[in-house]
Structure 1
Amino acid sequence: MANKPGKRRFGSIRKLPSGRFQIRYPGPDGRMRTGETTYERERDADKALSLLEAKLTAGGWTDPQRAKVKLGDYAAKWIRERTNLRPRTVEIYEGLLRRFVVPHLGNVPLGKIDTAMVREWRVTLIGSGVGSSEVAKSYRFLRAVLMTATDDQIIPRNPCRIRGAGEEKPDERPVLTVAKVFELADLVPERLRALILLSTFASLRWGEAAALRRMDLDLVAGTVSVRQQHVELDSGELIVGPPKSRAGARTVAIPTAIIPALQDHLAEFTGPQPEALVFTGARGARMRRSNFYRASKWVEIRKKIGYPELHFHDLRHTGNTIAASSGASLRDLMERMGHDSVRAALIYQHRTTEADRKIADAMNDKISEVRPDDDEGSSGVPARIG
């Protein structure tokens, strides 16, 4: 029979029928745990208990049982437990896990993952033709999952320690000239013209523009307020929700040169109710990317203006570039674009209306250089919308 545990200040040691010694000790939660190995000599077992006690005191202890959990299972649970994630973000994480993490690391216990294994996984993804952007996203996802495992004291430290592996270096996107923006706007059907102009010169994301309602436009003040966005999931489901981030909820000054186009659009294509969507499909339904590309003949018209690889998001990129050329401060640009600043406090700072108007006026000057006839509408007096 095994010997009874001896009296000790921390943990206990018992001698097994085999003659080897086994340790038991309380974890941070008070629950007793059995050592992962046995020892030939009692003093070795005593030394192991002392090391465990030191780790627990210093906060460096990890749970050996939980370290046996497979990465795929832990990562799936990690996603489920983040109830604040947006549906689209959940979809993206699940896709990264399914396509790039599980096939290579899904069955590996958390405690067995080291930096060399992560490095080999990343090289394998690159070598198999996975795009650099998706490799970087996958690495950032894995790093976030394993950081939680570190915080949960499952592993001693995060093995994702490859410098620069999470940085994306996308290809340089095209920036249109103001003249090209109007050329593009003049090629799409009339009901889509204002969408092109507003998305560019107010630096709107697709989902933000698609979700705009009549009450979001104030053409007397010359502003557009971003209060919500449309999110299209891979399943085809369309979700109406808050902007991408707290910084995404914003009011943006509009160049006066495009206000006549907005007035015409509202009069002809937007319902009179304050909640009416500004931009809709031909039958009045919510605008979807696929419907826009089909209705606008996007593939054809982008070739006509000499930008065959142009994406809709490049319109926002163009607007951001023009805004930056106005000489506005970094803070004012970040607020106009709806970006979260590295300094989170900037999210809560009151926007500088005068600086934002200077951005819009600088845009207006550039537009007027190439479109002098667009400065005024038929009446010359903008009307308040709401």
Structure 2
Amino acid sequence: MITAGIADRAVGAWIADGAGRSTIKNTLAALGPLLDQAVQDEIIDRNRGEVSGWQSRLAKYEDELDDPRALALPDRATLQSFSEALVTASADNYRGWGDVVILAACTATRIGEVSGCLVSDIDTDSWLWTLRRQTTPGPGGLKDKGTKGKRARRVPVIEEIRPLVLRRIDAAGARVASRMKDAAEEDRAQAVLNERLFVGPRGGRIATGVLRRATNWDEVVAQLGYEHLRRHDLRHTGLTWFADSGVPLHRLQVIAGHTDPRITQKYLHPDIDGIRADGDKLSRHLRGEGGPRLAPAFDGQRNANGRFLVRVQMGSKITRLGTVNVPDLVLYLRCDQEYAKTSGANCSALQPFRLANRLITSGSTIERRWFLLSAGHTEDGNAGGMGIRSGQLVVEADFALG
């Protein structure tokens, strides 16, 4: 008996398998009238197949899929052994199940798109697959419709899987020959072009649920340690491999059929070392003579006496003393409460302080030291410019000249 819980769990499984909105909607649309008729025939007391809220669950799942790379198989050897394990676990050891898995992963396509592929869709001269349709569940059973993006796209058929494709084309020719023994050669040739590249062991269409049940998918992935792996993760595997091979983002988007490049970008490898290197390049540019100057960076903290200490760190070294030309700066700070009590300053507003810079020589080292002066005050401090202070604010700000 179909209960509300069974229906709800079934929809959850479809979402986890990567089924799209239209697939779920069409499947529920076919189930509803069937259960309504069962109510009228007094077979069941009410229709418990109505599932509410599945659209929001689907949207949440799609939003949470932020790291599709984590779902990919690690390498081709793992894919090969996985496909062989599925064939072994199937009731009839049908080799076609393994071929479907390999083709889906190596072309980054969906199981429904593999099922919808006709022999004529694959150009064996250029080895491009023009992907035009997919097989999805709907009212009355499985049917073909346009791709998820509503547009045809071309996908490369890599050299490693071309023998597999040729083997499936030969199998399609054998099926046509057995059905059309008395037909003209021209008619048989045309029929081969319109034949599906992949079918089940009894000639039926393939869908993700069919593949799951026929190969005992759940048991196989658990035994191999890939409990997370769903049929749709074969597509994640292919897109991850394409991205890691160096395919640029705009072409990866075409292969994937994505309309939003932000989705495609999730498959790019997070090149941390490269990002750091890019930051180093920017630093070298900013510090070079021809690049823009870095503004001083200010880091506020308190000294041992509780006074507000401002350290000014310059982002570059000045290598030629004769070309130094740094204007005085004005820094706006909000003073601390202790300073407000002793000076009567208004600490609710930002107060201006002038940053003056002076050259200081100590032995063979030449330094440019910045002094923080409150507005209207003059410099005062000890000889050599060490520990220049103004009121209760003390500044230590210097950088070495090359």
* TM, length-normalised to structure 2: 0.44
Q: Is the radius of gyration larger for structure 1 or structure 2?
A: 2
Higher relative contact order (CA 8 A, sep 6+): 1
Bigger strand fraction: 2
* TM, length-normalised to structure 1: 0.46
Bigger helix fraction: 1
